[in-house]
Amino acid sequence: MPAAAQSSPPAAPDEAAYRRSLQLREQWMYLTTGLAGPATWTDGERYRYRRTSPGGFEFVMRRVGQAQAEAAFDQARLATALSPLLGRDVEGRRLPFSDYEIDKDGRALRAWVDDGWVRCELAGEYRCARWSASGPSPRPRGWGVVRDLSVAADATPQRSPDGRMEAFVRDGSVLLRTLADGSSRVLARDGADNDFYDPESIVWSPDSSRFMVLRVKPGDARRVTRVETSPRDQLQPRVRTQLYPKPGDAVDIDRPVIFEVATGRRIDVPTALFANPYEISPPQFRADGRTLAFRYTERGFQRVRLIEVDAHTGAARSVVEEHSDTFVNSWWHRADFHDVDKRGEQIVWQSERDGWNHLYMVDGRSGRLRQLTRGPWVVRQIVQVDEKNRQVWFSANGREPGDPYMQHFYRVNFDGSDLRHMTPGDGWHELSLSPDMNHYVDTYSRLDQPNITELRDARDGRLLQTLERGDASALFAAGYRAPETFTAPGRDGKTPIVGLIVRPSDYDATRRYPVIESIYAGPHDAHVQKKFWPFDNQSSNERLIGAQALADLGFIVVQIDGMGTMNRSKAFHDVAWKNLGDAGFPDRIAWHKALAARDASYDISGGVGIYGASAGGQNALNALQFHPEFYTVAVAYNGCYDNRMDKLSWNEQWMGWPVDESYARASGVDNADKLRGHLLLIVGEQDENVDPASTYQVADALIRAGKDFDLLAVPGTGHGVGRSQEPIDYIQRRKFDFFVRHLMKQQTPDWNARGAGKP
C-alpha cells in the first residue's frame, strides 16, 4: 500500500453504478463450475450432491469407486413439471431449491419451494404437487418453551415395543389398552388444564414393562399481535397473532411420571434436582429399561445436569453437572451428549470447564469424567459416535495453524487416545459420513479458493478420489476480488481479532475510501465468512454479495468477529454475559484503527458506517448510542433493540434470568437520548422472529428525545425484509442511498423523477 493516498472524496455513484451493484448477484452467480455442496448419503455406497455447471446447477449421484458422476434425475423434465404448479417458468439448470429428500424407493423427491413442500414423481411422466406430511403434526411450541394450547395435541396411542399394548391420554386421563381384547384401564385421571399429561411425550421402556409421560404446568401464553396492513388478497387489513414468550415469562414445567404396566402403579419422580427448568430434554429409557435419563437446563442457563431416574422407584440422581457464574452454553450443538450403547455406563459429554469446549467421557455410575480432547481450541459439534469401533467423530476449530475459526474434523478413541485430524486440506471443511462409517465426503474451500470435494477412507483418512475441483476463473475474469483477511489485537492488546475486507471491484490503492462495517455480533456463533462465497444462497445475500455490491459504489466494507461471539475460549465468549450492548465494539474499533494505520486507502477519518439485521440491527443502533465518536451512520434492519421485547430463549441464554437492570443497560429504547449521527431503521411489519413493536418503541423513544432519524416500514414483509424477502432491490437501494448521502457526502439520483423509481 502507498504511504499516502489521494484525499479527494470519491465520486458519487451514478444510476449505472447502482444498476451494476443491484444486479451483481445475478451477474456472478452462474460463473463457476464444479463447486459442489456437501454430500448426502443414500446408503453405504451411494451419495448425491449439487454442483455448479455452465449457467446454473446440476444434481448428481455417485457410487463409491465410480469415476464419473451421473445425473440424479432429469432436471429439464422436473422444471417442466414444476412450472405450472408454481405459476412461473422454471429453468432446468436453475431449479428453485438447493437440496431435497428422496423417497425410500427412489421414485419421488420432496423439496421446500416457495414456503411449502412439493413432491415430484420421478418415474414415468414427471408430476409435481404440493405435499404435506400425512398424519397429525406435533403441537407447536413458542420458541420451544411454551406449548400452543390453542392447537390440538397429537393424541395418537403409542404402542409398546412388544406390540401388545397402547398407552394414550384422553380427557386428562392416562389410559392403557390391551390390543388382544381391546380392554382399557385408567392409570391416572387427575390431569387438568393447568396441570396436564402431554399425549405427545409418551415413551415406552424397551421391555414394555412401563412407560413414561410428561406432566406439564403450562407457561404464559403471551401472544404478539401484528396488523397486516396491505394484504394482497383483500382490501381490508388482517390481524395476525403469534405465541411468543418473552424474557421473564413463565415457561412450561415438565415432570416425568412413570407407569408400571403389570400393576398400574404410578411412580412420581421427585423434582428437587430439576425444580426450575428452562427445559428438560425428552426423557429416554436406557436399553435395559431400568433407568431413564434426560438433560436438565436450569432457568438462567447457569446450571445443566444429566439426570438419571430409577424406573422402578422414581429416585433421581445427577450423573454429571455443569455450572458457571456466567452461562453454560446450551446453544446449537453444545448441548449434545451421547449415551453409549444406551446403557448409561459411558456418556460422551461436552464441557467448557477448562476454559475451552472439549469432549469428556463420563462414567455413568460414579460420575467421574475423563477428558478426551484438550488444548486451546474448540470442539464445535459431536458428529458421530462410532460405538462399534469406540470412537467419536467431531468438528473443531483453532487446532490447526492459521485462522482460528477454520472448521476441521477429527476422530478420537473413547479413552482419549489416537486423536486424528481427518480433513487435512487448508480451508473450511464440511464432512458427510457414510451410514456404514466406511467412507466420508469432505468438501472444503477458502475465501480465495473454490470448493474441492474429496472421497476418503474413514478408517485412516486416506484420499480415495478427488470428486470435484471448483473452477471460478470466469468469475475472477468478470471482476470478482476475493475478500482479504486481516487480524489485529483486540481490546486487551493481545487477543487476535479476525475480520475480512471487501474492496471495490475497481479498487485503486491511491484513493481513499470511506469504510462500512457489516455487523452481526450474536453470541450464538461466529459470523465472518470463511468459505468460498456461496452466491446461490439468497439468505446470505445481505452479508456476502451485499457487501460487494455496497463496496462497488465506492466503499470498503468489512466484517469482524469481536469478543462475545462463539467458537473461541470461554473467556472470549463470556464478554457477552449480561452485556449484549458491548457487541465486541472495543475489539472492532481497535481492528479498524490497526488496519487504517497500515492502509492509507482505508479512510475512517470521517467516521465509520455500520449496518446489520436482527441482533445486527441492535448492534448497529448501539454503535451510534455507545460509540458515536467512531460510528456515524447506521442502517438497522428488524433489530431486537430491547432484549426484553425479543424471544425468551435466545435472550435469557445470554442476558440471564430473572430480568434485571442489565437488560435496560443494553436497550436501544432506554438509551435513545445517547443517539448521535444518522440512523435508518427498516422493519418488516410481519416480522415473525423479532416483535416489530421493538422497532416502533425505538422510534417512539427517539421522537420523545428529539432525535432525527429515518424509518422505513415495509408492509407484508417479515424478518428477512430486503435480504431474503422482496422487495430486495428497493430496500438495498435505500440502504445504498443512505450511506452515499451521509457517509460519502454525495448526492444520490432523483429516483422519483424516473417513473418507476428503479435504477
The domains of the chain are located at: 15-27+479-754, 33-134, 137-330
Half-sphere exposure for 656 (CA within 13 Å, toward CB): 18
Assessment of whether the complete model's pTM goes beyond 0.85: yes
Please determine, for residue 124, whether its predicted confidence score (pLDDT) is greater than 90. Answer: no
Instruction: Tell which residue, 656, 660, 487, has the closest CA to residue 562.
Output: 487
State which H helix or E strand residue 217 sits in: strand 210-217
Q: Give per-residue pLDDT as tens, 379-388.
A: 999 999 999 9
Of residues 743 and 722, more confidence is placed in 743
Architecture of domain 15-27+479-754: 3-Layer(aba) Sandwich (3.40)
Of residues 28 and 539, more confidence is placed in 28
pLDDT band at 535 (very low <50, low <70, confident <90, very high): low
pLDDT of residue 137: 87
| 3-class secondary structure per residue, 563-586 | CCCCCCCHHHHHCCCCCCCCCCHH
Instruction: Tell which residue, 680, 744, 741, has the closest CA to residue 714.
Output: 680
Of residues 136 and 180, more confidence is placed in 180
pLDDT band at 337 (very low <50, low <70, confident <90, very high): very high
pLDDT of residue 3: 46
Of residues 223 and 536, more confidence is placed in 223
**Range with the poorest average pLDDT among 105-109, 245-249, 438-442, 692-696:** 105-109
pLDDT of residue 5: 52
**Range with the poorest average pLDDT among 246-250, 331-335, 347-351:** 331-335
pLDDT band at 93 (very low <50, low <70, confident <90, very high): very high
pLDDT band at 538 (very low <50, low <70, confident <90, very high): very low
Please determine, for residue 450, whether its predicted confidence score (pLDDT) is greater than 70. Answer: yes
pLDDT of residue 756: 56
- Please determine, looking at this structure, whether the domain spanning 137-330 carries the CATH number 2.140.10.30: yes
Alpha-carbon distance 732 to 506, whole Å? 21
**Range with the poorest average pLDDT among 223-232, 529-538, 665-674:** 529-538
Please determine, for residue 347, whether its predicted confidence score (pLDDT) is greater than 50. Answer: yes
Please determine, for residue 136, whether its predicted confidence score (pLDDT) is greater than 90. Answer: no
CB-CB contact of 56 with 91 (8 Å): yes
Please determine, for residue 737, whether its predicted confidence score (pLDDT) is greater than 80. Answer: yes
**Range with the poorest average pLDDT among 116-125, 358-367, 390-399, 574-583:** 116-125
Q: Give per-residue pLDDT as tens, 243-285.
A: 999 999 999 999 999 999 999 999 999 999 999 999 999 999 9
Q: Looking up cell 428477512, which residue turns up?
A: 720
CB-CB contact of 709 with 702 (8 Å): yes
Alpha-carbon distance 447 to 566, whole Å? 20
pLDDT band at 2 (very low <50, low <70, confident <90, very high): very low
Please determine, for residue 1, whether its predicted confidence score (pLDDT) is greater than 50. Answer: no
pLDDT band at 540 (very low <50, low <70, confident <90, very high): very low
**Range with the poorest average pLDDT among 4-13, 65-74, 403-412, 616-625:** 4-13
pLDDT of residue 133: 79
pLDDT of residue 545: 77
